Amino acid sequence: MSWEQLAEMDAFGTSPFQNLCCTKVSRLIPDARFEEALIQENAFKDGFAEKYFVADIPTIDMKVYVYLDSAEIVSPNLDIRFDRANSRTPDDLALKLIRELSNAF
């Protein structure tokens, strides 16, 4: 998968990167349940809303956020953002996220 394929949103407005990451995280952590949320940009002036997903992982007091082309791990001791600019492909970025989550266990 290439970054150009992010424009190929599915019928639900979810990016291929989001589908990839949510699937990989759920395989690694079966208890992770993603919920959909929206980031409202310029909500008062014809703005747009970006869909993202968040999973609460209570066993290790951590949250995983998956955005259109980035991800984040947040816990009381940790806040790591995985950005598109730091990876050649969406698969590379998803792998970095999974590696970091594996280290948390």
pLDDT digits (tens, 9 = 90+) for 44-69: 555 567 889 999 988 888 999 999 88
pTM comes to 0.85
Can you give the pLDDT at residue 53?
A: 95
Whether the CA torsion 78, 50, 53, 98 is positive or negative: it is negative
Residue 2 CB burial class (10 angstroms; 0-12, 13-18, ≥19): exposed
Check whether 20 has a pLDDT greater than 60: yes
For CA atoms 59, 94, 68, 83, give the dihedral sign: positive
Residue 10: predicted pLDDT: 81
State the Cα angle at 82 between 77 and 86, rounded to 5°. 135
Confidence of residue 26 (pLDDT cuts 50, 70, 90): very high
